[in-house]
Structure 1
Amino acid sequence: MKMITFILWSLFIVLCPLNTRADELPRLSSDCLEDMKIRDVEYNKSIMKEIITELGLDIDNQNYIEVSDKALDAAHLIYGGKEMDENYRSLHEQFIVASRGKPTLYIKPKEAYLLYKQPDNTNVAVHLKLADFKWDVVGKKKKEGNPVHYKLLKCEKEYLKKKREYFNQ
């Protein structure tokens, strides 16, 4: 008898969820996600352009290769992914900063610049040189920059509104 009671209570608890919702959780459409990716790329490009201009750097796409943190990680894996790779580690540690947008590395043989905008809109350029298979910081420029505004898309605003309504039911 106790076993039957236990089974019935177990079924009741499993089959009758305490917090049921008739509505489905709002989701972003695939078009909106794609638009967000495009907006983020454009946002980061405008930040980099502003940093290069404000700091008076001689960086162009003909002499320097633009490298993101993901591209650096991919290159590290392609070339063996060694744990004790000083060349990779000395570059990778430069990406660990608080920033608006994504820090970006501009690199050419034996020389590189890591550019980023701090949360207080200060533009930063870290000048790196390759010496003995390790990238060393040889200079750092900082200058107060202009804010670059991050605009929410209409579909994002609608999603956030629906999500707020969903959780306030």
Structure 2
Amino acid sequence: MPGCRGDVESGKGAEDDPRVPPERRVDLLTVDGRPLEDTVSTRAMTAHYPDRTGRPVDGLRELTALAAVDDATARDVVTSALRALGAALAPWLIAFEADAVVFGGSITAAWPLIGPPLATGLAHRDPRLAHLTLSVQDDGEDQALLGAAVFATRGG
């Protein structure tokens, strides 16, 4: 079977490849037997902070802003979630033989806070991922639409 990397580079999809998550959706992955969304989502992280502090937080931007100004609880909530994301993604990235992952969208605004624990979670789960290139694409929200348009024009 051709590798996913070759399929992606040739423009072919990897829909049925066992090296990609079910339905090609990361949100269907689990962490400790629970849906990934229960650990790594705005909903989950903004719920964990008031559970631990008794103080509400108005969204992920406020939570990451608190973490950036040395709120230890906010930093721990974000760090724990991103390490868990790294652990959940690691087996798929190894199977896919990924050498780079590009992140886009609103996550890029907090990348200095988010990137390091994500990299730690990946490398902790599998040391081969310590050399994986993680990068951000500022206009990443448009990238999914562009990718879908390319896929559709190729008869996908």
What's the TM-score once normalised by structure 2's chain length? 0.29
Structure number with higher helix proportion:
2
What's the TM-score once normalised by structure 1's chain length? 0.28
Structure showing greater Rg = 1
Structure number with higher strand proportion:
1
